[in-house]
Structure 1
Amino acid sequence: MTGGKRVSWVELYFDLIFVFAVAQVAHAIVAEPQWGRVAAALGLFATLWWTWIGYAVLYNRQADDRQPLHRLFVLAGTVPCGIAATQAHQVFEKHPAGFALALAGARVVLSVAYLLGARGAPLARRAGMGFAASAVIFAVSAAVPAPRCYPLWALALLQEVAALLLGERRRAERGLSRADRLRAMFAPPKDAATAVDAAHLSERFGLFMIILLGELVITVGAAALDRPQQDSAYWLSMGGGLVLAGALWWVYFDTVAGVNERLLSMSGGNPALAYSLYAAGHFTPAFALLLVVAGVNLSLHEEPPGMASWFVAVGLTVYFGGARVFSSLPRRWWARPLRLAAIAATVNLGWLNQVLSAPGVVVVATVWTIGAAVAVSLLRRNMLRRLGEDPVAFFRDTD
C-alpha cells in the first residue's frame, strides 16, 4: 500500500468478531448441504456484510486512531456484533429475534458515531440518519415472525446502501447514459469530504478476504482432526484444500487488490466507484469463498454428499467472476469464446463427482485454480497497461 490511512489495531480486533460470524454461515451450509440452505446463508451473510461495511466506511472517512472516542465506538460495536454472531444459527431455526435486535444495536452505535462526527458534513448526517432508520427497522422486525421479517431486513440494507456510499452522486447521475455514468464514476467528487481513502479501503477489504481464506484453512484442519481414518482420501482433501487456499490468495492479491486500489485512487476516491469495486464488487466473491469452504469441509467427511463437489465448482466460478479472472484476457476476437469456455469448464467441475471421489474433485479444482493464478500473473502486465491507457474502458470491459 502507498500513502493513505492504514488499518488500525482496533479494526483488526473488530474483525475477530466476524471470524466467528462468517464461520457460522459456512457451518450452516455444511449442516444442511442443500441449495435452499445456501440461499438462506446468502441472505444472512448479506446482513453481516453490510454491518461490517458500515464500520469499515466509518473509520475510512472520519475516524482517527489517535482519538480515544473513535476507538471506543468500534469497541462498542463489537458487543452487538458479537451477540449477532452467536445468534446467527438461530436464524436458520426460524428464531431470528435475537439476531435482529443485535443488528439493531450495532446500527445504534454506527448512527451515534456518524452523527457525532458529522461536524456539518451532509454525508455523515445522511449516513447517521440512515443507520438510525435501520436500527428502528431491525428492532421492529424482531417482533415479526420468520419469514415475514426478512423483507424488513432487505429494506434496512437497501436504504443503508443509498445513505452510506451512493448519496448525492447517484442522484446527480440520473438520466445519464451508461458510458457517461462510468466517466462520472472516475471524476473526483465535488465535495472532498465525500471521498474515500483508497489505500485504507483496499487494505481493509484485503484483510477481510484473508479472514475468509483463513476459514478455509481452519475448516480443513478441523475436518481432518474429526476424521479418524487417515487414508488416501484424507490426504488428498487436506493437501488439496490447503493448496487451494494459497492459490485463491494468489488470484486475489497478485492482481485484483492492486488494480482495485489503483482504480479508486485514479478517481480521487469517488464513492460511487468505491461502491462498485468494494461494497458490491466484493460481496459475491466473499460469499463464494464460504461456499468453497463448505464444499471442501464436506469432502473431508467419511461419506461426502454429492453437493460437496458442486459447492466447490459453483464457489470457484463465482469467485473467479468477482475477481474478474476471465475478464482479464486481451481484447481479441478469441477472448470472448475462451472466457465462456473457461466459465463453463469451472462450473462443470461439479460433474466430476460422477467419476471421481469428492477428495479427487478437490484436487482437480485445486489444479484448475493454480492454472487461473498462473494466468492472472501472466496477464497482469497487460491489465495494468490497459488500465493506464483508459481506466474507463478497462472498467467497462472487466466489470
Structure 2
Amino acid sequence: MPLTPASRRRGRNEECCAEWNVTLLNFAGQCKNSQKGSCFAQGEHAGRIYHWRMSEKLPSPRAKSHDPGRAPGRVHWMELFFDLVFVAFVGQLAHGIHGNPGWAEFGTFVLLFFPAWWAWVNIVSVVNLLPGLSSRGLGVAMLAAMAAAGLMAAAAPEAFGARAWAFSLANASMRGVLLVLWLYQHRQKSADTPWRIWIYNGGTAALWLVAAMLPLHVAVILWAASIAVEVAMVLLGGHLWADRSVSGINIEHASERLGLFVIIVLGESVFTIVSELSTGWGPAGGLAAVLGFLVVALLGWAFFQYGTGTVATGLERLQSRSDYAGILQTTVFMPFLLVVGVTGVAAAIATAIPAPLEPLPFGAGIALGGGLALFYATNAMVSLRYGRPLNTVLPWAVPAVVAAALLIPASATVPAAVVLALAVLILLALTAYVEIHRRRR
C-alpha cells in the first residue's frame, strides 16, 4: 500500500522518538556513575543532539510553502483556471458581431477585445518570468486577476454605456495585481528603483481609476492613454532594457500559453455552434452546423498540428539571435490578430446556422472571409518574422488569403451553407498542400 504524506510524517516522528529514547537511556546510564554537575552537562548535550536530529529528520513546514509552484517550462493548474474567465469574455464580445455587424460593431469588438487580450498577455508574461513563485502566491495572484477579468467581462456589453465605470474599475484592479507581481519580479532581479514599473502599471492603474469617476466621453480618452502608454513602454523596453524584460522568457511556457489561448477561442466557437444548433434544430441547420464545425476543426488542425511546433522553434531562433523585438511582436501583438480572425469566423458561423438557405448578411460575410484571411495572413507574418524564407511561406499564404477574401462577395450571392462548404473546401485544400509538402521533405 503506498504511503500517504501523513503516514510518512508519522513514520519520521516515530523514528525520531525512538532515537530520542535511546539517547535518554544512554544518558540515564551515564548519570548513575557521574557527578551531579557532569550529569547536567551531559543532559544539555543530549538535548542539543535531539534538536539537531529533529531538524535533520523533519523538514520545516514553513520552508515548503516557499517552494516554486511550477517547473519553469510548465503551466500551473491555477493558470488554466484563470483562463476560464476569458472563455466568458470572448463569448460576451463575440455576441456583438453576430448577425449583420457594421463598422461600429467591429470597432467596438476590437476596442474592447484588446484590453482583455492585453491583460491576459501581461499576466502570462510576469508569471513566465517568475518561475520561483510559490504555489500559494501564484494561486492568490491568479484568483485576484480572475476576479478583475470577470468584472471586465460582465461590464463589456455596456462598456461604452452604463457599465463604463465598472469596466474602468476592473482594468484598474487588474493593473494593481500586475503592479504587485512586477514589483516582486523586479526585487528578485535588481536593486534599482523600479520607476518603469510604477509608471507602467501604477500610473496606468491611476488613469483607469480616475476614468471610473468621469463621464464616458472623457473616460475613453483616459482608457486610450493608458493602453498607449503601456504599449509604448513595452516596445521601448524591448529595445532599451531587453536584459531586464523579455531576455529571460521561458520559450516552452510562452508557446504553451499561446496555444491555450487559441484553445479558448476555438472552444468558444464550438460552444457557439452547439448552442445555435440547439436553438434552431433542423436538417438545414444541422448541415450548416456540421460545415461550421469542420471549419473550426480544420483551423484547430492547422494551428496545433503545424503552428505550435513552429512557435516553439521560431521563438528559440529569435532568442538565440537576441531579437527581443521579434519575440514581442510574435507573442504579444500578432497573435491578437489571429484570435480576432477566429472569433470573427465563429460569429459568421453562428449567423449562418439559423438561416442556412439564405445568403449571409454583408457584415457576416466580412466576418467569415475576413476572419479566415486574417488567420492565414497572421500565420504568414509570424512565420516570416521567425526567419522562414519567402519561398516556403508565400506558396500557401497568398492562395489562402486570396481565396478567403473571395468568400466575402460570394456570401452575398449564394446560401450561407454553400459559403461554409466553400470555406471547408479551401481549408481542406490548404491542409492537403501542407501535408504533402511535409511528407516530401
Which protein is bigger by CA-based radius of gyration?
Answer: 2
User: Any conservation in 2 of the 1:255–1:377 contact (CA below 8 Å)?
Assistant: no
Who is 1:16 aligned against? 84
1:23·1:215 contact (CA, 8 Å) conserved in 2?
yes
Deviation, 1:323, is: 1.3
Preserved contact between residue 107 and residue 135 of structure 1 (Cα < 8 Å): yes
Task: In structure 1, give the amino acid aligned to 2:226.
Answer: A
Who is 1:257 aligned against?
Answer: 308
* Residues 1:338 and 1:373: Cα distance change in structure 2 (over 3 Å): closer
2:227 corresponds to which residue? 157
1:320 aligned onto 2:379: no
Aligned residue number for residue 78 of structure 1: 146
**Structure 2: distance between partners of 1:357 and 1:59:** 47
Q: Which amino acid aligns with 1:6?
A: R
Structure 1 residue aligned with 2:44 = none
Kindly state the Cα deviation for residue 218 of structure 1 after the two structures are TM-superposed. 0.5
In 1, Cα distance between equivalents of 2:194 and 2:430 = 41
Moved more, 72-81 or 61-70: 61-70
SS in 2 for 1:301: coil
SS in 1 for 2:249: coil
Q: 1:374 to 1:138 in 2, by over 3 A?
A: farther
The structural deviation recorded for 1:241 is 1.1
In structure 1, what is the equivalent of residue 251 of structure 2? 198
Distance 1:123 1:200, change over 3 A: farther
- Partner in structure 1 of residue 407 of structure 2: 349
> Closer, same or farther in 2 for the Cα pair 1:74/1:53, shift >3 Å?
same
Q: Distance in 1 between matches of 2:365 and 2:268?
A: 18
* Residue identity matched to 2:92: Q
1:116 to 184, 189, 206: 184
- Gaps of at least 5 residues in structure 2 are 1-70
Name the residue aligned to 1:278: 331
Displacement, 1:371? Answer: 1.9
Distance 2:236 2:178 in 1: 17
Residue 326 to residue 62, structure 1, CA distance change in 2 (3 Å): closer
Q: CA deviation at 1:32?
A: 5.8
TM-score, normalised relative to structure 1: 0.81
Q: CA deviation at 1:71?
A: 2.2
> TM-score normalised to the size of structure 2?
0.74
- Superposed CA deviations along residues 211-263 of structure 1, whole A, max 9, x for unmatched, are 101111000000001114x12x3122110111111100122122222222112
Bigger RCO of structures 1 and 2 (CA < 8 A, at least 6 apart): 1
- Local SS of the residue matching 2:380: coil
- The secondary structure found in structure 2 opposite 1:7 is coil
SS of structure 2 residue aligned to 1:6: coil
Do structure 1's residue 375 and structure 2's residue 433 form an aligned pair? yes
How far is the alpha carbon of 1:60 from its aligned partner? 0.4
Q: 1:169 to 1:35 in 2, by over 3 A?
A: closer
Q: Where does 1:82-231 land on structure 2 (aligned, <5 Å)?
A: 82-93=150-161, 95-119=163-187, 120-121=189-190, 126-127=196-197, 129-163=199-233, 165-171=234-240, 190=243, 194-228=247-281, 230-231=282-283
CA drift at 1:339? 5.2
* CA gap 1:74/1:354 in 2 versus in 1, 3 angstroms: closer
Distance 1:76 1:208 in 2: 19
Structure 2: how far apart are the matches of 1:351 and 1:326? 28
Give the root-mean-square deviation of aligned CA atoms. Answer: 2.9
> Deviation per CA, 1:329-363, whole angstroms, max 9, x where unpaired?
9755x986985454222101122224421122112
**What amino acid is the match of 2:429?**
G
**CA distance in structure 1 between the aligned counterparts of 2:259 and 2:124, rounded to whole angstroms:** 12
Structure 2 distance, partners of 1:193, 1:274, is 8
Among candidates 403, 420, 427, match of residue 362 of structure 1 = 420
- SS, match of residue 376 in structure 2: helix
1:2-61: per-residue Cα shift (whole Å, max 9, x none)? x95111101000000110011111011116622320111001000100011111001100
2:428 aligned partner, one-letter code: I
User: Are the equivalent residues in 2 in contact too, given 1:196–1:271 (CA < 8 A)?
Assistant: no
Q: How many pairs does the alignment contain? A: 361
CA distance in structure 2 between the partners assigned to 1:59 and 1:87 by the alignment: 26
